[in-house]
A and B are shown apart, each in its own frame.
Chain A
Amino acid sequence: MSTTTLTPTGTATQGPPRRSLVRDTTIVLARELRPTLHDPFSVVFSLVQPIFFLALFGPLLAGNLGGGLPGGDVWQWFVPAILVMISLFGSSTVGANLLYEMQTGAHERMLVTPLARSSLLVGRALKEIVTLVAQAAVIVLVMLPFGFRLHPLGALTGLVLLAVLGVGISSFSYALALAVRKQDWMFWVVQQTVLFPVMILSGMLLPLEGGPGWMRALARLNPLTYVVDAERALFAGDLLAAPVLWGFGAAGVTAALGLALGIRSMRRSD
C-alpha cells in the first residue's frame, strides 16, 4: 500500500495573518464557477424554458397583438422580457444546489473551514452574474437573425441590470433553501407558488395595460414589473428613460434585501 507523507507543504495551521471577506468570497465564487467552466454547455441547457417561450409564445404574440404592442415590434418588446424570465426561472432555482450540498455533506464540510459564513452566500449569489450574462448573450445572438435590433450601450446596461436582479433573486432562493432545509420538498412548493404570479404580474408575457385594475395595482407592487419595463427601454436604446431608473431601483432593492436575508440565514445555518 502506498502511503502519504503528511509534511505540511504550506503554513496551513498558522494560516495567513488576516482573512479578507473578498478573498473568501472569491474562493466560493470560483468553486461555484468551476463545474460550469468544465462544462460550458450546461449554461445553454438551462435555457430550454425561455427558448420555448420565445419560439412558441413569441409568434402567438405577433399574431394576436402584433402592432398593438408598445413600440409595435414583437421581438423588441418580448426579448428583453425573456431575459428577465431567464433570471426568474434560473436564479430562483439555485437554492436547490445548496439544498443538495446540504444533503450530501459538502455544505457542512465548508462550515468547518475558516471561510466566513457570509462569503458562502455572497460567492454563490455572485455566480449568477456570470450565468445570466452568458445566457442573455446567447438569447440575444440567437434573436439577431430574426430582426432583433441591438443598441450596444443599452444592451450592456441591460445586462448589468439583469446581473443585479440575478444576485437578488438567487439570494432569496438560497435563503429559502436554508429556511426549508429540514423539509426540502417545501423549496419547490414555495418557488413554484411565487414564480408564476410574479411572472404574469410583471407584464413579461402580455401587456398589463389591458388587464383589470386590481391586476395593474398588484403589478405596481411587483419589483419585476419595473425591471421588465427598464429592460425594454434599455434594449430600445433609451438609456435615459425614467423606467430605467425605476428598474435599477427595484433590482437594487431586491438585491439588497435578498443579500441581507441570505447572509442572515447563512450565519444561522448549522
Chain B
Amino acid sequence: MIEARGLTKDFVSRKETVHAVRGVDLDVGRGETVAVLGPNGAGKTTTMRMLTTLIAPTAGTARVAGYDVVADPAQVRRRLGYVGQGNGAGHGQRALDELYVQGVTFGLERRAARSRAQELMAGLDLAGKERTKVSELSGGQRRRLDVAMGLMHAPDLLVLDEPSTGLDPHNRANLWEHISALRTEHDITLLLTTHYLDEADTMAARVVIVDDGRIIADDTPEVLKTRHAGDRLIVTTATAEQTARLAARLEARLEAWEGTSGVELTGTTLRAGIVAGSTRVTELVRTADADGIQVTDVQVRRPTLDDVFLALTGRSLREADTATTGEGAAA
C-alpha cells in the first residue's frame, strides 16, 4: 500500500535549512495498522504530508496505493482517505452536507453519497447531528466527523494525523473504539501518527518510532519492548542485607538472563532490567530460598514504548516533547 524510499524533506526558512525528514524508508502492506510514534518535530506530519501529496519531497520516492506521489498525485488522492490534524469539515457547513460533498467529490452518485453519509454518521454516533453546523459540534463529535469524511469514498488506505490529539480520555477511547470497529469490519490499511504511547501500543500491530527525521525502530510493540527495553524486575526482601546479597547473586546472572541494565539497590528493594523477566521469577525465588533470603514481594513491570524510546535515544518521549515544543514548523 505504501512504499517509501529515502524520503527526505528540507525546509528553508530565513536562510536556515531544517532537515525535517532525513531518508525515510517505509513499507506498509495491505490491511496493516501502523502507528508512527515520535515527539513533536520528529517529522511525523511532514512524512504524512509527503505521502498524501500535500508537499513534494526534497529527495526520495514514495508510491502510495500503487502510484507515485509526485508523478501521479491525482491517482493517489483518489485512493486515499486523509484525516489531517485540523478539522477536515468546514466549520460553516452542516455536518451531513460536508460528508455529502466529500462523497460527490470522489465521484459518488448523489443518492449513494447521501445514504453513505447517513450510514457513516449513524455508525460514528453522530445520528441526529446531520443538520448541525460543524462549529457547533463538540470536539469529539467533530473528530468523528473528520474520520467519517476520510471514509466517505471507502478508501483502501486511511491516513490519520494525530487523530486523538486534543480529545479528553473518554473521547479518545470512544474514537478508537470506532476506528477499531471500522478496521475489523473492512480490510482497511491504517497509517496514523500519534504521540500517545498507550495509543500506539494498543491500537497498532506495528509501531514505527521516529526521532529527528529518521526511523529509529520499526516492529511490533512486543518485539520493540522485548528487544530494546526488557522487563523491569522489582524485588523486595525482609532486610537490606538480604537484598544486597540477592543483588550480588543477580548481578552474576545478568548476562545469562539477558539483563538490559545493572542492578539498582534502594534499601530493601532492588530493580533490574531483564528480558522476559516473568520467566525468571521462579528461579530467583528458589535461589533466594536456598540462601535463606526472605523475599517479601516480587513485581515484573512490562516496559512501555516510552522505555523503548528512552533506550533508543537516551531521553524520554515526554521530555523530548516538551523540549521541542515551539518548533512547530518542522512538526
* B107 CB within 8 Å of chain A: yes
Give the CA-CA distance A176 to B188 in the complex, in Å.
40
CB distance from B316 to the nearest CB of A (A): 30
Contact flags A173-215 to B (C-beta < 8 A → 1, else 0): 0000000000000000000000000000000000000000000
| B106 and A12 contact, CB distance less than 8 A | yes
* A6 CB within 8 Å of chain B: yes
CB distance from B113 to the nearest CB of A (A): 7
Contact flags A92-104 to B (C-beta < 8 A → 1, else 0): 0000010011011
| A34 and B88 contact, CB distance less than 8 A | no
Task: Find the B residue at minimum CB distance from A106.
Answer: B90
A-B pairs with CB below 8 Å: how many?
Answer: 138
Give the CA-CA distance A110 to B49 in the complex, in Å.
13
Give the CA-CA distance A95 to B70 in the complex, in Å.
28
CB contacts (< 8 Å) of B86 on chain A: these are: 103-106, 108-109
| B182 and A6 contact, CB distance less than 8 A | yes
- Count A interface residues, CB 8 Å: 38
CB contacts (< 8 Å) of A104 on chain B: these are: 86-87, 90-91
CB distance from A137 to the nearest CB of B (A): 23
CB contacts (< 8 Å) of B53 on chain A: these are: 112
| A31 and B84 contact, CB distance less than 8 A | no
Give the CA-CA distance A103 to B79 in the complex, in Å.
25
Within 8 A of A (CB), among B59-86: 74, 77-80, 82, 84-86
CB distance from A246 to the nearest CB of B (A): 37
| A2 and B123 contact, CB distance less than 8 A | yes
| B119 and A13 contact, CB distance less than 8 A | no
Q: Is the interface on chain B under 10, 10 to 19, 20 to 34, or 35 or more residues?
A: 35 or more
| A2 and B107 contact, CB distance less than 8 A | no
Known A4-B123, A114-B74; contact A106-B154, beta-carbon cutoff 8 A: no
Which of these binds chain A: B22-30, B96-104, B264-272?
B96-104
Which of A2, A8, A16, A109 has the most CB atoms of chain B within a 10 A radius of its CB?
A: A109
| A13 and B78 contact, CB distance less than 8 A | yes
| A8 and B122 contact, CB distance less than 8 A | no
| B105 and A27 contact, CB distance less than 8 A | yes
Give the CA-CA distance A241 to B151 in the complex, in Å.
56
Cross-chain contact of A13 among B82, B146, B156 (Cβ < 8 A):
B156
Known A4-B123, A106-B90, A109-B149; contact A10-B82, beta-carbon cutoff 8 A: no
CB contacts (< 8 Å) of B80 on chain A: these are: 112
Give the CA-CA distance A11 to B106 in the complex, in Å.
9
| B120 and A4 contact, CB distance less than 8 A | yes
CB distance from B213 to the nearest CB of A (A): 19
| B94 and A38 contact, CB distance less than 8 A | yes
A-B CB contact pairs (8 Å), 6 listed: A3-B182, A3-B185, A6-B182, A12-B108, A27-B104, A35-B93
Interface positions of A (Cβ within 8 A of B): 1-13, 15-16, 19, 27, 30-31, 34-35, 38, 97, 100-101, 103-106, 108-115, 270
Interface positions of B (Cβ within 8 A of A): 49, 52-55, 74, 77-80, 82, 84-94, 97, 101-109, 112-113, 115-116, 119-120, 122-125, 146, 149, 151-156, 177-178, 181-182, 185-186, 188
